[in-house]
Amino acid sequence: MNHSDRDRPSDRTGRAVWMLHPAALLAFTWLVTAALQPAFFAPENFALMLARSAPDMILAAGLTVVLMAGRIDLSLGAVMGLVAVVASSPAVAAAPWPLRMAILLGTGAACGVIHGWLIGRRQIPAFLATGSLFFVWEALARALQGASTTVCLPVASLPHPPSTAAVIATTAGLLLAGQWVLTHTICGPRLRALGSHPEIIRRAGLPTIPLTLGLLVLSGTAAATAALLDSPSPQTWHPAAHHSLSALAAALLGGARLRGGHGSIIPGAIAGVLIVQSLISYWPTTPTPAHASCLGLGLLLAAALSIDSLRHYSTSPYEELWRRG
């Protein structure tokens, strides 16, 4: 097969695919961060960043699994805030530890059940279902907390926040377990097949509705787990949308695709979160206009979407056909 130069769909993109790898993006980000902020890699600062990144890593890992199957969950930040508000209520805080964990994880799972029912059974697009329920969970959290309608939804601190070592160890264990399931069980290939070739899944007779329900329950439980690992101070409160959009940016930077079929927890989701957190750590800590943080996150998400588009184009069937020649 002969091709002229103008027939090449993405020659430059194809040669630069390695630059879009999550590890390469993370290395470039850290080089820039080290040049602009030399104290960033001090052991105490780096350990603190890992602990602060733990909730986002859980969120990004859960969202990555959902994206692999060609779905999306935009409600993670609101579910996380709702679980944190429930955790701070006197009745739940006074309950025994096992019951308290069951209530909080069950709250996240219940939100996932509703998402899965709307998407799988009622065939509502995941973008619309989870995007609209984001506001429902946020409003419910405000009602339970009695907060006024401010721009920022305060994520309530837990009565007994975990230590830094416990947060890092728990997060590492959960991420390793999730990656093992994706690489050593049938779940990983099925999710990728559902995201990239859904018709094959249907023809094989595999039930897609229970799989979709399970995915959304998993993402809701991940949001609840992130709330348990998070204990922000009033100075670090973020809007619920901040958690959702930063998790989406991290998942895309980590190699997950909006079109489905691709993604990994290790190194993908972890690298994506470290990229986002490294960039956020350089943002000004002094009081700034409220729109400045939103602008930075918006630009970061736009960059992640652009990288996702480049990755898709560089590995499109036409490009692969051209390479085989």
State the CB neighbour count (10 A cutoff) for residue 166: 13
Q: Which two tokens stand for residue 208?
A: 């897609």
Q: pLDDT value at position 292? A: 60
Q: pLDDT value at position 144? A: 85
- pLDDT tens-digit series, residues 118-158: 998 889 999 999 999 999 998 898 888 775 444 344 444 45
For the whole model, what pTM was predicted?
0.84
Q: pLDDT value at position 311? A: 81
Distance of alpha carbon 272 from alpha carbon 199, whole angstroms:
30
Q: Where are the domains of the chain?
A: 5-324
The torsion region of residue 263 among left (phi > 0), alpha (psi -120 to 50) and beta comes to left
Q: pLDDT value at position 294? A: 72
Q: Which long-range contacts (CB under 8 A, 24 or more apart) does 7-10 make?
A: 7/322, 8/322, 9/313, 9/316, 9/318, 9/319, 9/322, 10/313, 10/314, 10/316, 10/319
Q: pLDDT value at position 150? A: 43
Distance of alpha carbon 320 from alpha carbon 325, whole angstroms:
9
- pLDDT tens-digit series, residues 62-71: 999 999 999 9
Q: Which CATH number fits domain 5-324: 1.25.40, 1.10.287, 1.10.10, 1.10.3470?
A: 1.10.3470
The segments of the chain whose pLDDT lies below 70 read: 1-18, 147-162, 231-238, 281-293, 314-325
Which amino acid, 109?
Answer: A
Q: pLDDT value at position 51? A: 79
Q: pLDDT value at position 323? A: 39
Beta-carbon contacts of 192 under 8 Å, excluding residues fewer than 6 positions away, are: 68, 260, 261, 262
Pick from 20, 46, 44: nearest CA to 33: 46
Contact 66, 116 (CB under 8 A): no
